[in-house]
Chain A
């Protein structure tokens, strides 16, 4: 048995009668940024949610430091792992600082006032996400990009070793996408955070990940470094596209600069799970 920080064993999950995946085996590499890519409905969000105990598995086990997730108190899990859902929503009247303070919940004893350590974590989280300058503004008054950084700050205030991010850049403009991913990179470099995220943009995945995992129809079809994964062959297999890929002359990171349907014209259609 390997000592993975987070791994799944014969995991089966889904919604009501519908099973999204079964017998899924996946181990997250400690201290790395892992990105899950794949077409809509392939199960990448479902996998993330099940690993983050947001969704209850139908069968199988998720291990956090070799402990069954179900055997741990949810509050203990929240000290080690957090998940930022896709498009989180909160009350408009809440201020940035208040929301970030919520992130300290798992570290507080009930009813206890926040300690110096809590205050430090809150300041740090707002600082690294550059939300500190508008800490007193209300959520309702923020732009989509600003709001996403505030949610990220809340997750960071939890000070967990593992961060699961479900499409953290969706609906953001190019600059904010870059900002969010730079924060993720900085976290990984400075605090050795283990990060697992779902991204749709394969070029961002290539640039910001150590490892890419490709899912399709509930299976992990390939995994490896960006150089191994962002290739015409893998992209054809995963997305059924004819992708044209070259390496960025500056740093050798693969870039998919254009793509087209395969000759069969067969499109992958499905609702996002």
Chain B
């Protein structure tokens, strides 16, 4: 009877998982230096004495893991932001959260000059925190400026975000231009959304954020269902609308900031993934959000694989590949929402 049953959901999740495993395998084996299936499996299970350990453990695998985490974070954050703002065009990038987090990180890089190249634990662990400060500042600004008649105005939410985002991006660019040449290069590559510098420390530095924030979001998923009703209905049902909005906004900002700190500003994941998830599993957030996590992971792993290999040995920024898909999709959504 129900179009979106539990069985269907499990089927979709398993399919997504299968695709992720396939994408991971292809990313591991294919590249400037191709590996056979046997070689990949042997290296993964040889525990540190295989021929290709360095290639897989130092280069390909950490990058895939980061891509997966970033995709998950951005996909889930996008779904939450769209739910909170009741606006299907909301996305961390469009709302200026990426840009805010980016600005704070650029400022951090600027004052930490010349030390970025090294694998300094302090700077790596501190980056998500700086990202969070910037991301939070952006979210708080956007949230406060979007209040109209005592409620969150979803049109304003988007417009304020776009305006603030451009401002933050301009400031970031200004600061980047003041950097010394090595840092400038690092910061520019980073700011367009690249996983070039991926390493295990990055994964470890953002993992706690995921372990802390994702469960809260999954736990609050049923509130996002209620947010699809009008504000007066939601209030009548006894939801503390303002409080729940703030909690959800903080959680998604935290996720986005952590992602931005390791991958720079990768846009549009949070826009595309929730729409795709909705069309597959329906509008129930308890199913949709886990699916967003999976689809985000898949999207960024695949996009990063394309970015690495399309013009090999030269590399395109992962963010660029996703934008190439994201921009037309955004315009399509814009037109469809008007109709």
Contact = CB atoms under 8 A, between A and B. Distances in A.
A203 to B, nearest CB: 28
B226 interface: yes
A79 B236 contact: no
Contacts of B237: 78, 82, 102-103, 105-106, 158
Interface residues of A, number: 35
A41 interface: no
Contacts of A170: none
B283 interface: yes
Given A105-B237, A158-B237, A91 B232 contact: no
A110 interface: yes
B225 interface: yes
A164 B50 CA distance: 72
Contacts of B236: 52, 54, 78, 82-85, 155, 158
A66 interface: no
Contact of B238 (A93, A95, A105): A105
Nearest to A112: B222
Interface in B274-330: 282-284
B211 interface: no
B235 A54 contact: yes
B229 interface: yes
Label chain B's interface by main secondary structure.
loop
A98 B228 CA distance: 13
B8 to A, nearest CB: 14
Interface in A213-258: none
B118 interface: no
Interface string B38-68: 0000000000000000000000000000000
Contacts of A136: 1-2
B81 to A, nearest CB: 17
A159 to B, nearest CB: 12
A89 interface: yes
B233 interface: yes
B2 to A, nearest CB: 7
Contact of B228 (A49, A53, A91): A91
A93 B282 contact: yes
B246 interface: no
Nearest to B242: A74
* Of A56, A79, A106, most B-chain CB atoms within 10 Å: A106
Interface string A73-100: 1111111001111001111011100100
Contacts of B233: 85, 88, 90
A90 B150 CA distance: 21
B36 interface: no
B149, B229, B231 — most chain A CB neighbours (10 Å): B229
A259 interface: no
11 contacts: A49-B232, A53-B235, A54-B232, A74-B238, A78-B236, A89-B229, A90-B230, A91-B283, A102-B226, A105-B238, A136-B2
